[in-house]
A and B are shown apart, each in its own frame.
Chain A
Amino acid sequence: MRHRVGFNRLDRRSSHRKAMLRNMVISLFRYERIETTKAKALECKRVAEKMITRAKTDSVHNRRTIAKDMNDKEILNKLFTEIAPMFDGRPGGYTRILKLGFRQGDAAEMVILELVEKTTDKKDDKKKAKKSAKKEEAVAK
């Protein structure tokens, strides 16, 4: 029975919603961090996490199943070869939502949806350097 398992329709027709969520998931896997509204982020998160869990075991079947909902071969490959292996040993919770505040115009709550682990170590080093610089600035202030 699939009782009491709801989802947010996001005020869109099924085809519109499906297309939007696909695009969002592809963006999430490409940039590893996207800024969106809270409601969209929560829906995108469930799609993305299910995909990552499936992508943990690389097989032709799994690839085809996910390819049904992903029209970008490059990102599909990235998901299986780079993203999913990072989450080996992590039982779910692959993404993080950080709240930013409310958008001007419609007061929608904006959030950052990001992968808990990032693929590029080099970028991380740069970020860390920036982080420490920022911290020093903040302390100086």
Chain B
Amino acid sequence: MAVPKYKTSKARSRTRKSINMKLSAPKLVECSTCGNKVLPHRVCPKCGFYRGKQVLNLEDIG
């Protein structure tokens, strides 16, 4: 059976991970109504607006 001849060095494995396991920050856009940062295509959790329309009444939820 084929077996690795050398132990993978820390540098080698970390170099590999640095590219493949990179985390990326979430893409955020500004809510067009209140300017809060929100995930794109989602209802703004602060003001309840989506695409310029009130879709959630936050007072009702409490």
Q: Does A60 belong to the interface (CB within 8 Å)?
A: no
Q: How far is the CA of A100 from the CA of B55 in the complex (A)?
A: 10
Instruction: Report yes or no: B55 in contact with A138, Cβ–Cβ below 8 A.
Output: no
Other-chain residue from A100, A130, A131 in contact with B43 (beta carbon distance below 8 A): A100
Closest Cβ–Cβ distance, residue B6 to chain A (whole Å): 40
Chain A, residue nearest B58 (CB):
A134
Instruction: Report yes or no: A131 in contact with B39, Cβ–Cβ below 8 A.
Output: no
Instruction: Report yes or no: A130 in contact with B54, Cβ–Cβ below 8 A.
Output: yes
Residues of A within 8 A of B41 (CB): 99
Q: Main SS of the interface on chain B?
A: loop
Other-chain residue from B43, B54, B57 in contact with A135 (beta carbon distance below 8 A): B54
Counting chain B residues whose Cβ lies within 8 A of the other chain, the interface size class is 10 to 19
Chain B, residue nearest A134 (CB):
B54
Q: Does A112 belong to the interface (CB within 8 Å)?
A: yes
Q: Does A93 belong to the interface (CB within 8 Å)?
A: no
How many residues in A have their beta carbons less than 8 Å from beta carbons of B? 12
Instruction: Report yes or no: A100 in contact with B42, Cβ–Cβ below 8 A.
Output: yes
Closest Cβ–Cβ distance, residue B5 to chain A (whole Å): 42
Residues of B within 8 A of A141 (CB): 34
Residues of B within 8 A of A130 (CB): 54, 57
Would you list 7 pairs from A and B whose C-beta atoms are within 8 A, ordered by A residue?
A98-B50, A99-B42, A100-B45, A101-B42, A101-B43, A131-B54, A138-B49
CB within 8 Å of A: which residues of B?
33-34, 39, 41-43, 45, 47-50, 53-57
CB within 8 Å of B: which residues of A?
98-101, 112, 127, 130-131, 134-135, 138, 141
